[in-house]
Amino acid sequence: MRKLRSVLVGTALAGALAAGIVAAPAQAATTSSATAGAASVAQAQYTKHWFSGYSSFGRGESRSERSYYKGYWYYSNGRYYFDINTWDRDRDRENSFIDFYYHDDRGWHNRRFNTGGHHEWKFSYSAKGGFDGFRVRIGEGRSGDFDWGNYYRHSF
């Protein structure tokens, strides 16, 4: 009788273990699909708006040696977020400068960033202060003698 009970308990335990192993991938698939769904909902909350530009070029430089930037902005939760990458493609020991002007209820404001190679800047502004537009340009050179490119302008 003892042997029969041990066999029955062992069979029941093996069956429960097998059922748990079969259920685990199904539960993992449900969890991963829920996570993927949440990620796609979070990503769908904003749209990236791309912008880019090139610096002008001075004497002895070709168009291929100009500095350039590429960035995007998006609006989320009452803030405007910016991500700007810059590249200084010549090797003349002069920096590239990004002039970022933004407009709000108090007027125009300037932020200047500089790099000697590749760099990325991320920043944001609240829409509560009346943030309603920006313009960006890139220049390359030494202080007071920049080869400024054209402005990229955007109003909201």
For 135-155, the pLDDT digits (tens) are 999 988 876 777 888 999 998
**Residue 105 has what pLDDT?**
94
Sign of CA dihedral 143, 51, 92, 111: positive
- Give the tokens for residue 125: 């502004």
For the chain, domain boundaries? 1-44, 49-155
Identity of the highest mean pLDDT range in 38-42, 101-105, 148-152:
101-105
Instruction: Tell me how far apart the alpha carbons of residues 110 and 134 are, in angstroms, rounded to a whole number.
Output: 10
Instruction: Tell me how far apart the alpha carbons of residues 140 and 26 are, in angstroms, rounded to a whole number.
Output: 57
**Residue 5 has what pLDDT?**
54
Mean pLDDT across the chain = 77
Q: Please say if the pLDDT value at position 35 is more than 80.
A: no
CB atoms within 10 A of CB 147: 19
Spell out a b/e string for 56-82, using b for 16 or more CB atoms within 10 Å of the CB, else e: bbbeebeeebbbbbebebebeeeebbb
Contact status, residue 133 vs residue 107, Cβ threshold 8 Å: no
pTM of the full predicted structure?
0.66
The class (CATH top level) of 49-155 is: mainly beta
Identity of the highest mean pLDDT range in 24-28, 56-60, 102-106:
102-106
Q: What percent of the chain has pLDDT over 70?
A: 65
Contact status, residue 55 vs residue 140, Cβ threshold 8 Å: yes
Instruction: Tell me how far apart the alpha carbons of residues 47 and 43 are, in angstroms, rounded to a whole number.
Output: 8
Comparison of pLDDT for 20 and 77, the residue scoring more: 77
